[in-house]
Amino acid sequence: MTKSNELGENIQTDFTEKMTYSDYLQLDRLLSSQTRLSNHHDEMLFIIIHQVSELWMKLILHELQASILALQQKNFATSLKILSRVSKIQSQIIESWDVLTTLTPSEYTQFRDKLGNASGFQSYQYRMIEFTLGYKPSHILDIYKDDQSIFSILSQAFNSPSIYDVTIQLLNSYDFPIDKHILSRDYSNTYEKNESVESAWLQVYKETNKYWDLYELGEKLVDLEDCIQQWKFRHMKTVERIIGFKTGTGGSSGVSYLKKVIDQRYFPELHSIRTIL
């Protein structure tokens, strides 16, 4: 059944045998997932900010994995488009901290103890993103050893080539002389700066017209890393504003830990060549 409104639109009103917007998005399930452990008004804000961030991270992983596949097929156009989308998604996560800063220290202390040892430090999707970018500290897996399903997913990402490993393979396919031990390296180790990779990127950035696809890819990766560092910085400043230098609920040193990880480099040569050029 449809009804015409004052704008002349034929609005569907009979959904007896049809899927609705709510059905498609599973809104009953989604909107019933915000369970406060206290009666404090602001706990709802805290829950939703983190749930939304996890949804955005799910999309980031979905896109990064597609970008890696496209690069493996030398489909630069698709990969670059996807990476542009990832940067836009990251901007949404960065801006979410502005909403959380409306939570004051006095308000947070009213329900913080209800969190127990639950902490954003334990976000396995965030760890998946780091693994996908090439940062793989082995001790991180210990956090998830009691949950075999998550541990299995993380272990697979931990042992798989990162987007930068795939990019280095691309550099090699353009006949840049990449060291063999880099091309056959153990992917479970965090990538470390290499002179042959640095030399390849330097050539790309000196001859941008000749290596335009690689040049664009390099800049997209820098965008990606830059957004992650901005996200970490906003995270650190938000935590500092709300709890000062208290220990994190997950046992980390809180702000002190967050400050240490801000400058983590995922694609070191793409930064070092800027000084050389």
Which positions make up the binding site for heme? 235
User: How far is it, in rounded angstroms, from Cα 246 to Cα 256?
Assistant: 9
User: How far is it, in rounded angstroms, from Cα 238 to Cα 157?
Assistant: 29
Rg for the chain, CA atoms, rounded:
22
Binding residues: 46-50, 108, 112, 235, 249
User: How far is it, in rounded angstroms, from Cα 106 to Cα 241?
Assistant: 11
**Backbone CA torsion sign across 44, 49, 52, 57:** negative
Binding residues for substrate: 46-50, 108, 112, 249
User: How far is it, in rounded angstroms, from Cα 84 to Cα 82?
Assistant: 5
